[in-house]
Amino acid sequence: MRNVLIIGAGKSTAQLIKYLAENAITEDLRLIVADKEFINATRLAKDWACIKAVQLAIADAEARQQLIKNAAIVISMLPAQLHIEIARDCLRFKKNMVTASYISEEMEALNKEVTANGLIFMNEIGLDPGIDHMSAMRVIDRIRDQGGKLLLFESFCGGLVAPESDDNLWNYKFTWNPRNVVLAGQGGAAEFIQEGTYKYIPYQRLFRRTEFLDVEGYGRFEAYANRNSLKYRSIYGLEDVLTLYRGTMRRVGFSRAWNLFVQLGMTDDSYVLQDTETMSYREFTNLFLPYSPTDSVQLKLRHMLKIDQDDLLWDKLLELNLFDKTKKIELRQATPAQCLQRILEDKWTLDHNDKDMIVMYHKFGYELNGEQKQIDSTMVSVGENQTYTAMAKTVGLPVGIAALKILNGVITNPGVQLPVSKEVYNPILDELETHGIIFKEYEVPYLGYNPHHE
């Protein structure tokens, strides 16, 4: 029997465990699910005879190493910064490892040793990063194999609420970490290349520079730029590409409304506010507005942001109870961003019966036999419930599939890596299709490079 050690039993682990447990008999697997909170591990293990739940504090080196020593493969679903301790142990005990996180500098530094020992440390094998890498490289490699030259690559992804659960004016609910949503785009300008020219969008303009995307059966979306698209040139071998842009998808109108919070300063996480424990939502909103002996908070905000009373933007702000005198922030020494997150969680937390939705959209512009062409590729995944969400499915399934392919010798190339080779992405994408994660491709007119544009 082959022990599969899964460290971390968070939200995205449910679908991973379900997949491996369903394959346990045919693949001769025994799953050990370890988490610092024993209740998390037992909650996910209770329905399966092949799973053993274990309490594990990562700082407990002896317990950690004993589990890794007895594993056939190790899957780390921990926060990204904790993977490195697991990785060092895996190297010490000659164990293959899988994570869904970006490759850190510390992880990359292990590559020489990992390769020399014939081990596979597969990273970035979840949704984004993960499915985005694999689905993009499959098309890019196909175009190259036909003799084509890539001119344009754009890629977009969004964690959204499913249409049947979309019941607020923002057309949005938190389907993952709310803090990441509130802080999105901060820490530097968005960088990309467009028609051969480098472009930069500073944070204060980010949510007013959006691109529209239409997805068959799901309507129109908008996308704002991710922070650094340029690193994907080397990852995908697109050093000569004229346009390279990655973005985050939302429903149309979200970004314009979100920009109000940016302009007010409510998304700032760099300083602590006074008396947030007893502060009302209305008092929080008033912090960012000029003093007036006569005007109400509502009137001051409308004047400051130039919002008409009949503008949908105004209804969106009212829906969030920003002017409520009774609701309290109830957080000690909170930053503006933390206070805003607290307010939004009141309205944007998924209800028990709500479903989430993942949408991914790629654009590939290329030249083949002297003709310019374009392929658009889309994928939509809708969650089943609050346990088996679309997010958990699209993160957990590729992790589980990769782990089995490594165990069974289908994926053999050693090293610290991400899934951009045919050996890795073809078998994983093929199996994902059997689980309903399918990309639909469309040939569309190429709207890219024009030498007269700037």
**Read out DSSP for 78-108?**
S-GGGHHHHHHHHHHTT-EEEESSPPPHHHH
CATH of the domain at 375: 3.30.360.10
pLDDT tens profile 157-203: 999 999 999 999 999 999 888 999 999 999 889 999 999 999 999 99
Are residues 150 and 119 both part of a single domain? no
364 neighbors 375 (Cβ within 8 angstroms): yes
Average pLDDT, the chain: 95
Are residues 55 and 37 both part of a single domain? yes
Q: How far is CA 217 from the centre of its chain?
A: 23
Q: Which residues are 154's β-sheet partners?
A: 245, 363
Is residue 242 included in any domain, yes or no?
A: yes
Inform me whether the pLDDT recorded for 332 exceeds 80.
Answer: yes
CATH of the domain at 12: 3.40.50.720
Identify whether 451 is preceded by a cis peptide bond (ω within 30 of 0): no
Is residue 322 included in any domain, yes or no?
A: yes
Is residue 313 included in any domain, yes or no?
A: yes
Is residue 451 included in any domain, yes or no?
A: no
Helices 13-22 and 390-407: angle between axes, nearest 10 degrees: 50
Structural domain boundaries, residue 228? 131-254+353-386+438-444
Q: Quickly state the pLDDT bin for 309 (edges 50, 70, 90).
A: confident
Tokens of 181: 């949503």
Q: Quickly state the pLDDT bin for 452 (edges 50, 70, 90).
A: very low
Phi, psi of 259 (to 5 degrees): -60, -25
Is residue 408 included in any domain, yes or no?
A: no
Is residue 421 included in any domain, yes or no?
A: no
pLDDT tens profile 438-450: 999 999 999 765 5
Inform me whether the pLDDT recorded for 453 exceeds 80.
Answer: no
Are residues 313 and 174 both part of a single domain? no
Are residues 244 and 298 both part of a single domain? no
pTM, rounded to two decimals = 0.93
Q: Final residue of a domain: which of 123, 140, 167?
A: 123
Are residues 44 and 157 both part of a single domain? no
| Domains contained in the chain, number | 3
pLDDT at 145: 97
Tokens of 444: 């569309």
Are residues 71 and 138 both part of a single domain? no
Where do we find the tokens 């991973």?
Answer: 16
Are residues 160 and 206 both part of a single domain? yes
Cα(385)–Cα(434) distance, rounded to whole angstroms?
20
Is residue 430 included in any domain, yes or no?
A: no
Task: Taking residues 424-428, report their average pLDDT.
Answer: 98
Are residues 247 and 364 both part of a single domain? yes
Is residue 403 included in any domain, yes or no?
A: no
Task: Name the maximum alpha-carbon separation found in the chain.
Answer: 75
Are residues 328 and 382 both part of a single domain? no
Are residues 150 and 89 both part of a single domain? no
Q: How far is the CA of 62 from the CAs of 35, 59, 65, 387, in angstroms? A: 15, 9, 5, 32
pLDDT at 227: 87
- Distance in angstroms between the alpha carbons of the first and the last residue of the chain: 62
Cα(270)–Cα(283) distance, rounded to whole angstroms?
20
Are residues 188 and 116 both part of a single domain? no
